[in-house]
Amino acid sequence: MEQEQIIRTEYSEVMQKSFIDYAMSVIVSRALPDVRDGLKPVHRRTLYDMYELGIRYDRPYRKCARIVGDTMGKYHPHGDSSIYEALVVMAQDFKKELPLVDGHGNFGSIEGDGAAAMRYTEARLQKVTQEAFLADLDKNVVDFVPNFDETEKEPSVLPVRIPNILVNGADGIAVGMATSIPSHNLGEVIDGVKAMIKDGKITTEGLMEYIKGPDFPTGGIVVNKDELAEIYRTGTGKLRIRGRVSVEKGKNGRERLVITEIPYTMMGANIGKFLNDVAGLVESKKTSDIVDISNQSSKEGIRIVLELRKNADTQQLINMLYKKTRLEDTFGVNMLVVADGRPEVLGLREILERHIDFRFELAQRKYRTLLEREQEKREIQEGLIKACDVIDLIIEILRGSQNQKQAKECLISGKTEGIRFRRAASEKAARSLRFTEKQATAILEMRLYRLIGLEIQALMKEHEATMKNIAEYEDILNNYKSMARVIIKDLDNLKKEFAVPRKTSIENAQAAVYEEKGPEEMEVAFLMDRFGYCRTMDTGTYERNKEAADAESRYVIRCLNTDRICVFTDKGRQHLIKVMDVPFGKFRDKGTPIDNLCNYSSEEERFVYVQCMEKVRESVLLFATSMGMLKKVEGAEFDVSKRTIAATKLTEGDALVSVMCMEENQGLVLQTRNGYFLKLDPAEIPVKKKAAAGVRGIRLTAGDQVEHVWYPDGIKDMTAVYQEKEVSLDRLRLGKRDGRGAKPRQ
């Protein structure tokens, strides 16, 4: 039995190495595309499997489940969902500038609908995929590597003849890095490749004369044209994309805004979000010009219609949509690819350089293979032509030989031992034969009909064509200009057959200027009942229902709809509510709890005072706590932007009992739970900051606390009820701060 060997090592080093290995595996083998063919392994394997299964563009569709299963079993053992998702994306013309798969069935929609299950859908290769991605696999143009279990061979890269990394773009999240490459127009990219082949020193600006900018399958407008040069130079940056909006005439002189193209980033569920955002602008009264929204999109394309009011300001509305919704969005560019087995951010020029190097490598290997095949054909053809000249001798050798091996040796080396010849001259001639092994094999396999005169002439023409091909291939392999000419001709053919007009416009546009109009200022009545439900209504409605409103509401505040409401709670907090956020409606509407409008929690705190900010700002507020602490605070201190602040400082066990905006000639009476009343002059209470605790207003007996605070105004006699008996507050003797107070006479 072998003795176990324990290797001691630093844990952090093991973790570091393991994580780096894992990260590189994800980067190279899953998440990032190869700069040469622009494909991730899952896409490459799926396309190659379809090629192997013979699912060509001119043959019937096959079930996607068959494709996915075969790909997973042979090349990509990482689950069927990733393979099917990759297959679906390659078939969606709204996601890919150049779809590589021809899908049949429900392959999803631009609005975010998912594809049907793979058992229902069918697919086959597109013609461009077959001709530009897979055409030369039989010519030894790329290396084949073993699959995961070494039972099959798969290409390490596909022989793609166009810069697919630019044409279809890419996106992916790896470990610690991500790639985001926009798609481009095939015809423009091909023109850029041709220009770089002709002038290897061409600059990024020079390339941009051919490649104007990104071309998204959803169209739209790229509005920061001047920034494209820097983005293409560095490989990183941000594109600003807008949807295309047109104005159409509607009925009764009304106009409508029609969105026919959307930003690429708005595709999917973001279309529904855009519609909700537009509806939100109407509901929040940011605009009143939109009267109806409808999504009339179909297979023919996007069509979102916004019906407008008569005499609506269409340009202002378009600017608002650009500013407030995703109709104008940002596309982050990070051209991160796998180059020479490692992740690297490349600019436009570097990507095209890598593609051209790869293209020349493909051409070199292709024409070397073709040359070898033609040279092999030449060898056999020359052997057959030579054989036709001495066919009588060859027939005599065949008839005199005892077996095929003996005849073949004679043809190759002139060995005549054991062969019966009719004439000595024939044997002498046979000794001079020097065919190659391949020629001898072809002669032995030659059929007699090849001896017909016309067949011999055809053989001579074939030989001439072969010699012409050999000369052509040798010229291509040995002459850079000849190879470049062949590649450019091939690119021209691909452009002629597969290029389509540009969909995305490239321009410089000024930032959308939208001046948000504030709501029309009006006076409203804010009503809040004892349960915390609040609502607003116009003052006319309130005046008509004043008696009922005052009876049902704990607080009735007349304020402007642009104001804010301050809610002070027993926990010493101040919550702010925008009056615009409070439901506006009819008198009998229920309203909404203040819990829904601010950070107030009815389960943890209760409100002790509610007032509008305009009133609070211009007043001095008096605070009273259950432990008898008093203070005044300038109201301006509470005019803050935060929705919730600490309005006062409370000691442990203390609670805020009362807050009041003090008026001139207003009095102050503290009432405790045990029935002590203390009348004070408010002028004795000092003005402090809101973070201060205040001063003691009443000296409490053990177990007692301030229960109520009264503010008699001296105009009319105010009474308090204690133990079912009325107490006249005006008749109380004026006391001093920090006094004990007195119980009223029974």
Q: What is the mean pLDDT of the chain?
A: 89
- Residue with the bigger pLDDT between 229 and 530: it is 229
d(CA 526, CA 555): 8
Identify the residue with better confidence: 661 or 730: 661
Q: What is the pLDDT of residue 210?
A: 96
pLDDT of the residue at 515: 66
**% the chain with pLDDT above 90:** 56
- Walk across the sheet containing 236-242 and list its strands: 170-173, 178-181, 328-334, 236-242, 221-222, 505-506
Residue located via tokens 């597969």: 498
In the chain, how many H helices and how many E strands? Answer: 21, 34
- Residue ranges of alpha helices (H) inside 185-252 are 186-198, 204-207, 228-234
Q: What confidence tens digit (pLDDT) does each residue in 319-360 have?
A: 999 998 999 999 999 999 999 888 999 999 999 999 999 999
pLDDT level of residue 453 (50, 70, 90 thresholds): low
pLDDT at residue 397, as a whole number: 81
Lowest mean pLDDT among 38-47, 378-387, 510-519, 685-694: 510-519
**Mind listing the pLDDT tens digit for each residue in 503-543?**
999 998 877 666 666 667 889 999 999 888 999 998 989 99
State the residue for tokens 């010699």: 467
Under 8 Å CB-to-CB from 175, ≥6 apart: which residues?
22, 23, 26, 27, 31
φ/ψ of residue 370, rounded to 5: -65, -40
* Mean pLDDT confidence for 240-265: 90
Residue 275, token pair as written in the block: 């519609």
Single-letter code of the amino acid located at 345: V
Q: What is the pLDDT of residues 256-310, one digit of tens each?
A: 999 999 999 999 888 999 999 999 888 877 888 888 999 998 888 899 999 998 8
- The predicted structure's pLDDT at residue 283: 83
Q: Is 715's pLDDT higher than 70? A: no
Buried b (16+ CB within 10 A) or exposed e, 682-714: beebeebebeebbbebbebeeebbbebbbbbee
Tens digits of residue pLDDT in 643-679: 899 999 999 889 999 999 988 888 898 989 988 889 8
37 pLDDT exceeds 80? yes
Q: How far is CA 642 from the centre of its chain?
A: 33
Q: Which residues contact 687 (CB under 8 A, 6 or more apart)?
A: 620, 631, 632, 633, 634
Q: What is the DSSP letter of 694?
A: -
Half-sphere exposure of 592 (CA within 13 A, CB side): 15
Q: What is the pLDDT of residue 454?
A: 64
Distance of CA 408 to the CA centre of its chain: 69
Per-residue pLDDT, 349: 95
* Interatomic CA distance for residues 254 and 291, integer angstroms: 11
Binned at pLDDT 50, 70 and 90, residue 585 comes out as: confident
The total number of residues shown for the chain amounts to 746
Mean pLDDT of 181-196: 96
Least confident of 36-40, 583-587, 712-716: 712-716
Active-site residue, from 22, 51, 84, 120: 120
- Determine the Cα–Cα distance for residues 418 and 407; give it in Å rounded to an integer: 10
Q: Is 703 left (phi over 0), alpha (psi -120 to 50) or beta?
A: left
743 has a pLDDT exceeding 70: yes
Active site residue 120: yes
The predicted model scores a pTM of 0.73
Q: Which of 190, 185, 322 is nearest to 243 (CA)?
A: 322
Other CB atoms within 10 Å distance of the CB of residue 165? 28
186: pLDDT strictly greater than 90: yes
Mean per-residue pLDDT, 711-719: 75
Q: What is the mean pLDDT of residues 715-736?
A: 80
